[in-house]
Amino acid sequence: MSDFAKTKAMFHIPEDMIYLDGNSLGAMPWATAVKVERTITDEWGDMLITGWNKAGWMAKPTDIGDRIGRLIGAEKGSVVMGDTLSIKVYQAVASALEMNPGRKVVLSDNGNFPTDLYMADGLCKTMGADYEVRTVNPEAVEAALSEDIAVLMLTEIDYRTGRKHDMKALTEKAQALGIITIWDLAHSAGALPVDLAGCNADFAVGCTYKYLNSGPGGPAFIYVAPRHQDVARPALSGWLGHDAPFAFDLDYRPGAGIERMRVGTPPILQLAALEASMDIWDQVDIHDIRKASIALCEQFIAGVEESCPTLKLASPRNADDRGSQVSFAHPEGYAIMQAMIARNVIGDFRAPDIIRFGFTPLYIDESDVTQAVSILKDVMENDLWDQPEYKIRNRVT
């Protein structure tokens, strides 16, 4: 049984703060600063360039990839770290389209995170006017699957509402029609159990700065099913994805397996920060995380609906249909969230009217939820949000 009182003590949460935004940027483990400092001083400082060999820097993208793979049900040797999520989306879509010649449609839903749609659309425009990104409502995805679609690209958990797609069912239906699947796990990895191998997924991508706590700008990951690894051609042919990067050949030759999805030099300091978090993740069971997350979300929903009747639940009511966040809608959502932040309850806002709260059992417990509900009740009952300073939009919402 996972000990969440123990893990909570491992995170730096400012005194008197209730941090309900780990679904956007995870909290920092206390060990992160020590780990990064040692990487800077003992490795970069003392070893200099020899750190690539002596400290094992070059192997970190796949070593850490396997550690994340445990949380997302991936086969060993099928996940590699590096670059940003946008880059990994581009890689996956480009490879999937090339693997499905004769089809030129990428299907997604209009609740997908915009950058996924932007990257796919940009790639389609590069490839030619006959390629397209087609979007439908989330609940209409299954009915929209057809034999003219090359790629199904979905984010498993909707970033606004927390709505959860059925990965196994949609993957099976898509593949029966000859469609290659790509799953974005940005709001899944570390939030709930994922079974990429069991679902027979083709590709998956995700970031690590949310539930996996790697820090702002933390590296992304890409999963390629073992059956595709020596077939999928990396459109971004970076030197570290070459079969022999230090041979410095002028012609690109893709590396074996997941290594070919590497692009540029790995971000060693950010990977060190991620390692500190993964040391905590190695002590917990993702199924325990899910059970605790559901309990916290249910407690929050019940409390808010009882005390704040003007807030409308925007997340699915059934816990099995949502991730580890709860969203409520209100026309003054932005101001409400600013009033909450001013009172040290940190969530965030997503246009046009969504206030989001993330529940990360590694460092959030029942007492935090009780306090957050009490403060939100005060903000709503007394119209504390109705102040000019709370309606000025910041660059980051």
User: For residue 365, what are its two tokens?
Assistant: 């417990």
Rounded to a whole number of angstroms, the CA Rg of the chain reads 22
Cβ proximity of 240 and 264 under 8 Å: yes
| Residue 209 known to be catalytic | yes
Long-range CB pairs of 28-32, under 8 A, 24+ apart, other chains included: 28/213, 28/215, 29/213, 29/276, 29/277, 29/279, 29/280, 31/276, 31/279, 31/280, 32/213, 32/215, 32/273, 32/276, 32/277
How many CB atoms are located within 10 Å of the residue 113 CB?
A: 18
Among candidate residues 116, 121, 184, 353, the one labeled active-site is: 184
| Residue 158 known to be catalytic | no
| Residue 184 known to be catalytic | yes
| Residue 356 known to be catalytic | yes
Query: Among 369, 35, 89, which Cα is nearest to 203's?
Result: 89
Among candidate residues 209, 300, 349, 359, the one labeled active-site is: 209
| Residue 312 known to be catalytic | no
Considering Cα of 83, then 86, then 90, then 96, what sign does the dihedral take? positive
Among candidate residues 210, 260, 322, 350, the one labeled active-site is: 210
What H or E segment, with its residue span, contains residue 312? strand 312-313
User: For residue 251, what are its two tokens?
Assistant: 């012609």
Among candidate residues 4, 11, 19, 113, the one labeled active-site is: 113
Q: Residue 370: what are its φ and ψ, rounded to 5°?
A: -60, -45
Among candidate residues 349, 356, 357, 359, the one labeled active-site is: 356
Residues catalogued as catalytic: 113, 184, 209-210, 356
